[in-house]
Amino acid sequence: MRSSTPLFILSATSTLAALTPTWAKLALSLNLMEANLNTDRSRIDKHYIDASKRAADNNALNTTQGVVADALLTKLMAANAMQIKALSDLRSYLFYPESNPEEYYGAAKRGVESIDFGLPEGLLETQGVFNDKDEVRAVSDIPGCATCVVDW
């Protein structure tokens, strides 16, 4: 194991050394972007659990607010995961070519994921807006009506 580590480092160094400065910057940027996306995902997940579930500051999300926040967080995490997958695909395609990229990256083996960005049930009840047929209007548009502070 010990002898394979320097060999791996040497091969990785020689591969990067073969890249032009611009391609080397692209490779580094892609790696940093993925690392940041993964770090941010972990950070958001931890703080969301602490704030909304464990009530670290005695201000947890309860009932409808908790359900809606969970639905929105699920959408955020799904979008983050798709971004990481797309980044990985781009890096693989550019730097580690497949023998048949059209087949590997084509539609035959892969599908496009989608996220429903519709409003979760109960969202309007937790916000300072109301649903007026085909529009969402601010509560302040109603004469004599104002938003109030919500203590979750």
Share of the chain above pLDDT 70, in %: 62
pLDDT surpasses 90 at 91 = no
Share of the chain above pLDDT 90, in %: 22
pTM over 0.85: no
Place of tokens 């926040």: 69
How big is the CA angle at 41 (ends 35 and 45), to the nearest 5 degrees? 150
SS3 string of 52-92?
HHCCCCCCCCCHHHHHHHHHHHHHHHHHHHHHHHHHHHHHH
The residue among 138, 136, 140 whose CA lies nearest residue 119 is: 136
Q: pLDDT value at position 64?
A: 78
Higher pLDDT, 151 or 108: 108
pLDDT surpasses 70 at 92 = yes
For 47-75, the pLDDT digits (tens) are: 999 888 888 778 788 777 888 888 889 99
Q: What is the spatial distance between Cα 91 and Cα 116, in angstroms, rounded to a whole number?
A: 27
User: Which of the residue ranges 13-22, 65-74, 116-125, 143-152 would you say has the lowest mean pLDDT?
Assistant: 143-152
